Structure 1
Amino acid sequence: MQDITLASAAEIAAAVSSGTVSARTAVSAALDKIARLDPRVNSFTDVVAGRALARAEALDAARGRGEPLGPLAGVPFAAKNLFDVAGLPTRAGARINRERPPSERDATLIARLEAAGAVLVGALNMGEYAYDFTGENVHDGDSHNPHALGHMTGGSSGGSGAALAAGLVPLTLGSDTNGSIRVPSAFCGCFGLKPTYGRLTRAGSFPFVGSLDHLGPMARCVADLALAYDAMQGPDPEDPAASPRPAEPALPGLETGIGGLRIAVAGGYFARGGDADAFAAVAKVARALGADGTVEIPEAARARAAAYLITSAEGATLHLDRLRTRASDFDPAVRDRLIAGAMVPATWVERAQRFRRWYRDAVLRLFESVDVILAPSTPCRAPLAGQKTFVLDGVELPVRANIGVFTQPISFIGLPVAAVPVRIDDGLPLGVQVIAAPWREATALRVARALERDGVAAAPAAILS
């Protein structure tokens, strides 16, 4: 293993468990690489080197005693800084949150990964309060896309995507309310999983929109995505939205192929509003999978509008006291949208929720005739850092508000999505959403793995050196 920082999580775990590589060596290599390369990427806001090395040494001691180490033994990982990390204030990308007392314990998903043998090495940069699609942060500085440092990472899990693309860690955690795992996965060229709403507990994370928030893994390969997802599953009474469903492991069936799956491309709304490259990526994936025609997701544009309405209103309610007393400490772009959300009439929100129920039923009926639906992740490749507008279909549109045009109608009703990176030329990567019916994460991951195995979907081993 020439460079352990570029090995997959599964390879690292196998090497640590066998004693070929010590956990301390694996973790030290990641910490050294973060120190050397992250100043160019700005993906980390906190590095917990002392904790990580102590954890690694404990794993090595356990192996020496002949104890089993778990499926993620010695794997360095990092989490978006809206996850609680014992000893750190939970920033959620905000200046105000830096004044919070340090967390007393880790978020449940961090604890579950470490119970499987993984080693947390730090917390990752993000858009303020997760209300962001760009990867920009006025308090901690913008995260930079390792494919081209002058371009956006996407957000709000921008640090999570950038750390993977830079080869700093093989596994990260992000959150996705309207697209915040899928967008940086597309822009940074990595794999991501937005699970079914309620599948993975959110206990110990700072909320954004309670009825839309999801947490999930991001990785450089599909097997690592499934490995982390399986380790994090399970009911949790601490999250009222968490499903009581038992774990349904994805890894065992990952290599079974796509035979028998009915796969279609989302047409209509999802075939407009993006540039030619975004649709070329979907077409490439569809050809590789032998997709069976198209399906039209009804009223997707209205779903996006309703998602915006609910996002702004619920987000504003959460932050109302901060807006009243600390408005000047917000990113102005975030503050102004939250203030607007605070003025949305309650009757509008109720109408949006009623429509949401209708829309969910209508979309679920589509899965009676298909198993997987393909759609673009973003309408374009990563824009330039600081870019305010782009032109799509001859119309100039604000970047921040429109990067999630294809992701919002999907997370609005909590469907599981595997985000796959696709290259159609030598330019910046693009992304495709592999969308499945509720609780069918394993199906979406099987399709993602088939695309990876055929070389259609691939994350680069590393961009920076």
Structure 2
Amino acid sequence: MSATAPADAATIAADVGAARSSARTVVAEALDRIRRLDGRVNAFTDILADRALARADRLDAAIRGGVPAGPLAGVPFAVKNLIDIAGLPTRAGSKINRDRTPAARDGALVRRLEAAGAILLGALNMGEYAYDFTGENVHDGDAHNPHALDHMTGGSSGGSGAALAAGLVPLTLGSDTNGSIRVPAAFCGCFGLKPTYGRLTRAGSFPFVGSLDHLGPMARSVTDLALAYDAMQGPDTDDPVATARPPDPVLPGLDGGPGGLRIAVAGGYFARGGDPDAFAAVAQIADTLGARRTVELPEAHRARAAAYLITAAEGATLHLERLRTRPQDFDPAVRDRLIAGAMIPAPHVEQAQRFRRWYRDAVLDLFGSVDVILAPTTPCRAPKGGQTHFVLDGTTLPLRPNIGLFTQPISFIGLPVVAVPVWLDAGLPLGVQVIVAPWREDLALRVARYLETSGSCAAPVAELAR
């Protein structure tokens, strides 16, 4: 861990807004870190130095002219490369998408962050078409975990987690269909927010599974996570599931602490099938919060299976034409799973959807008696790069599909989650999911902030960033 970590977003915004620092200086320093370090991490696929410096100069001039600075003034950020960036083809981790027409404008969340004063530095590596839990990519090369370069970042938002852990930027955006924000947050030791389904617009992003896709922020502090989240909220007619909910700022209540909240630990399915350390991390967080109660999410194993089936079927439908015309240009592992998804009988998908409605009602009933549920993020610490299998409960399993066994039953019904990093020892981090009822991101962030200030959670910059 570095003793001199780059500044967090809140500090940068305060200093730039008060003219104690310039946006140009902040951006230039971030670009220099990327130049020096990213050759080992491989977090970035596109770097927008000229655009970023020009925007920094405009922001500095505006502040000198008396224009009030935004809440993210001068904060460098980067986005998973499935989010549109004007002038670039939105590659979504693939070879095929590089032939697309460049995006005419930035994705909606990029525009909202820049309206708050943040400055986009580039696009980040990811698993092909977001069908990935590892952070590996056969086209752009694998992203490497900055805390141990021979280990995985987790995926599919692997570049987003790696860029934070390496100190390249203080804020990133990722996407989460079945765990793709939460898994790299756990493996790379940072904070991640998967909001309620429909809370943040997905307009201007390349889809994976429309009924499960979320976009959200990742950061090295909970305050930064909340700053970004508040800046990105609001309805958007360009996304049919993000049109109704008004903004609900969380930053003012962030330091309220967990007092009065009914907090429980997920048992049953979420208390087996992982390494002992995964459950030790949950126990440590539960102890800090004084959580003594256990609840069980009903039929969570079926929820995971149904999520897996819907993912395969919807993902395959999206890619059918590409599978017919350019099968050789896919990552073979992704291609084969999509082909398998295309052959799932329609009655099976319908049955999974019917179960999904039942499961959502059953889980929401739990929130009548609890406010927060704690669960492991992943069943293990970050595996070695290239690893294909792992052993859980004495059983050897394929690694890629099973990393998400604790995240899939949660995103399956769109629940908001803050993933918090936990360091049990000097080894690699683990993660814990702070799960709340729909639209209660404020509670999850409040709990995460308390854990951070109590010292139970931390998101240090990796040693290589010194």
TM-score between both structures, scaled by the size of structure 1: 0.99
Distance, in Å, in 2 between the alignment partners of 1:270 and 1:420 is 16
Aligned positions of 1:428-443 closer than 5 A: 428-443=428-443
Equivalent-residue separation in structure 2 for 1:40 and 1:53 (angstroms): 24
How far does the alpha carbon of each residue in 1:339-364 deviate from its partner, in whole angstroms, 9 at most, with x for none? 00000001100000000000000000
Per-residue CA shift, 1:272-314, capped at 9, x if unaligned? 0100000000000000000131000000000000000000000
Q: Which moved more, 1:137-146 or 1:5-14?
A: 5-14
Letter in 2 for 1:278: A
Task: Please tell me the residue identity of whatever aligns with 1:197.
Answer: Y
Q: Is the 8 A contact 1:5 1:26 kept in 2?
A: no
Q: Which residue of 2 aligns with 1:72?
A: 72
Task: Please give the per-residue CA displacement for 1:102-132, whole angstroms capped at 9, x wherever unaligned.
Answer: 1110000000000000000000000000000
Distance (Å, rounded) in 2 between the aligned partners of 1:461 and 1:175? 22
- The residue correspondences of 1:44-443 to structure 2 (distance < 5 A) are 44-443=44-443
Q: Is the 8 A contact 1:6 1:462 kept in 2?
A: no
CA distance in structure 2 between the partners assigned to 1:368 and 1:3 by the alignment: 44
Shift of the alpha carbon at 1:463? 3.1
After superposition, the C-alpha distances for 1:407-442 in whole angstroms (9 at most, x for unaligned) are 000000000000000011111000000000000001
- Cα distance between partner residues in 2 of 1:448 and 1:86: 34
CA contact (8 A) 2:237 2:243 kept: no
Identity %: 77
RMSD over aligned Cα, in angstroms? 1.1
Is there any run of 5+ residues in structure 1 with no aligned partner, and where?
none
Structure 1 residue ranges (4+ consecutive) displaced by more than 2 angstroms after TM superposition: 2-5
Residues in 2 aligned to 1:26 and 1:363: alpha-carbon distance in whole angstroms: 45
Structure 1 residue identity aligned to 2:88: L
Secondary structure of 1:254's match? helix
Shift of 1:4: 9.3
**Would the aligned equivalents of 2:182 and 2:419 in 1 still touch at CA under 8 Å?**
yes
Q: Secondary structure at the match of 1:6?
A: coil
C-alpha contact (below 8 Å) 1:167/1:463 kept by paired residues: no
Deviation at 1:461, TM superposition (A): 3.4
Residue deviations 1:31-62, cap 9 Å, x none? Answer: 01001100000000000000000000000000
Rounded Cα–Cα distance in structure 2 between residues aligned with 1:5 and 1:458: 13
Corresponding pairs, count: 464
Contact 1:4–1:29 (8 Å) recurs in 2: no
Q: What letter corresponds to residue 303 of structure 1 in structure 2? A: A
SS in 2 for 1:226: helix
Q: Which amino acid is 2:296 matched to? A: E
Q: Is the 8 A contact 1:43 1:124 kept in 2?
A: yes
The structural deviation recorded for 1:216 is 0.1
| Code of the aligned partner of 1:136 | E
Deviation at 1:5, TM superposition (A): 6.9
SS of corresponding position for 1:452: helix
Unaligned runs of 5+ in 2: none
Counterpart residue identity of residue 386, structure 1: G
Q: What is the one-letter code of the residue matched to 2:427?
A: G
